[in-house]
Amino acid sequence: MNTVDLDQRVSSNELGRLLRYWREVRGASQLDLALGSGISQRHISFIENGRSVPGRQTLLNIAQSLDVPLRERNALLLSAGYAPVYSEAGWNANEMASVTKAIGRLLLQHEPFPAIVMDRYWNVLMTNKAAPSLFNHFIDMEARTEPRNLLHLIFDPQGMRPHVAKWEIVAQSLIQRVYREAVGHVIDIQTQQLLDALHLYPACDPNGNGKALPIPPQACQWYPLVSSRTERC
């Protein structure tokens, strides 16, 4: 059993809380986790109760079994007193220069078609020249503040919203996509804040009255933009 002395670790209670959280998020019992990670159920119980701290590799095996997102694996490691092993460098950091250069070449090769690079919260990081040209056909992009968020751009009645066909179906589809693409299939604080903000946008009402946009749980397909400017709320 790969463990370390408890006196060397001061955050065992935090580790137990995090481990229990991810186990419950995944709907796994201690026995399920034991079978998936190759660790005894007794050992897992001891970790959650703060009576034992696993070794680094054992903890990584547990995280792998629970499909914990990489950044959250860093949090698990830190709570056990270990250094993080996964980089959290920003997309434009010096160490990411080769990656951003490669992405830039992909964007260029995508011309004359629009291409956008976003982070996991739909904030626009990079575009090719065709992307702003497309949006400027409908709205004045220069009038919008940066950083730009693609979902806010689409949901905003002063943005792309009036130019989208079958609006409520498109909105439902996008909301569902946010849930599907959440890292580790877990809605973190920033994703929840984004969803809350999107739900505050008014729906398209024939009477001109704002109302909360209904987001039913069914999956929906994507509908294209409407190039005509005749559709309005």
pLDDT in tens, 13-27: 889 999 999 999 888
- Same domain assignment for residues 168 and 233: yes
In a domain, 84, yes or no: no
Is 227 a residue whose pLDDT tops 80? no
How much is the pLDDT for 152? Answer: 92
Determine the average pLDDT of the residues in 169-184.
Answer: 83
Q: Residue 16 corresponds to which amino acid?
A: G
27, 45, 79 — which closes off a domain?
79
Domain, as residue range, for 110: 90-139
In a domain, 158, yes or no: yes
- Same domain assignment for residues 163 and 229: yes
Q: Is 42 left (phi over 0), alpha (psi -120 to 50) or beta?
A: alpha
Is the link from the previous residue into 224 a cis peptide, with omega within 30 of 0? no
- Same domain assignment for residues 153 and 233: yes
Higher pLDDT, 222 or 72: 72
Is 3 a residue whose pLDDT tops 80? no
Task: Show the CA angle centred on residue 165, arms to residues 163 and 168, nearest 5°.
Answer: 105
CATH number of the domain residue 71 falls in: 1.10.260.40
Q: Where residue 203 falls among pLDDT bands split at 50, 70, 90? A: low
In a domain, 144, yes or no: no
- Same domain assignment for residues 102 and 74: no
- Same domain assignment for residues 98 and 156: no
- Same domain assignment for residues 57 and 95: no
Determine the average pLDDT of the residues in 123-137.
Answer: 92
In a domain, 173, yes or no: yes
Determine the average pLDDT of the residues in 173-178.
Answer: 88
Q: Where residue 140 falls among pLDDT bands split at 50, 70, 90? A: confident
The chain-wide mean pLDDT, for the chain, equals: 80
In a domain, 224, yes or no: yes
> For the stretch 46-85, what's the b/e string if a residue is b when 16 or more beta carbons lie within 10 angstroms of its beta carbon?
bbbebebbbeeebbbbbbebbebbeebbbbbbebbebeee
Q: Give residue-wise pLDDT tens across range 40-92.
A: 999 999 999 988 889 999 999 999 999 888 888 999 999 999 999 888 778 77
In a domain, 85, yes or no: no
Q: Give residue-wise pLDDT tens across range 141-168.
A: 888 877 789 999 999 998 999 998 988 8
> Domain total for the chain?
3
- Same domain assignment for residues 167 and 231: yes
H or E stretch covering 116: strand 116-118
> For the stretch 160-176, what's the b/e string if a residue is b when 16 or more beta carbons lie within 10 angstroms of its beta carbon?
bbbbbeebeebbbbbbb
Higher pLDDT, 169 or 223: 169
Q: Residue 217 corresponds to which amino acid?
A: P
How much is the pLDDT for 145? Answer: 77
- Same domain assignment for residues 74 and 23: yes
- Same domain assignment for residues 195 and 219: yes
Alpha helices by DSSP H, 110-214: 130-136, 150-155, 167-181, 189-199
pTM of the model: 0.64
- Same domain assignment for residues 176 and 194: yes
